[in-house]
Amino acid sequence: MRVQRFRSIEDMSRAPARRPTISDFERFLRHCARYWALAPKTYPRGVFRFRSIEDAQKARARH
């Protein structure tokens, strides 16, 4: 069934999503690829080191 009809948003929200035909990780990979296509970034090159994960997260927030 390619098209489903709903009488309300609530009915739509309750409807089960189509069962994916690809693996969960493949869905993740494709999702990230779409994200990158929409919002590409330029990163620096190389290795950066951090004394804590909090420092690493702060550096990530500056991207």
Chain contacts with other proteins (rule: CB under 8 A)? 23-36, 40-57, 59-60, 63
Task: Provide, rounded to whole angstroms, the least separation between the CB of residue 7 and other proteins.
Answer: 27
Encode 21-45 in three state secondary structure.
CCCHHHHHHHHHHHHHHHCCCCCCC
Task: Provide, rounded to whole angstroms, the least separation between the CB of residue 50 and other proteins.
Answer: 4
- Closest to other proteins by CB, 6 or 28: 28
Instruction: Measure the CA–CA gap between 21 and 8, rounded to whole angstroms.
Output: 27
Task: Provide, rounded to whole angstroms, the least separation between the CB of residue 18 and other proteins.
Answer: 14
Instruction: Measure the CA–CA gap between 54 and 60, rounded to whole angstroms.
Output: 10
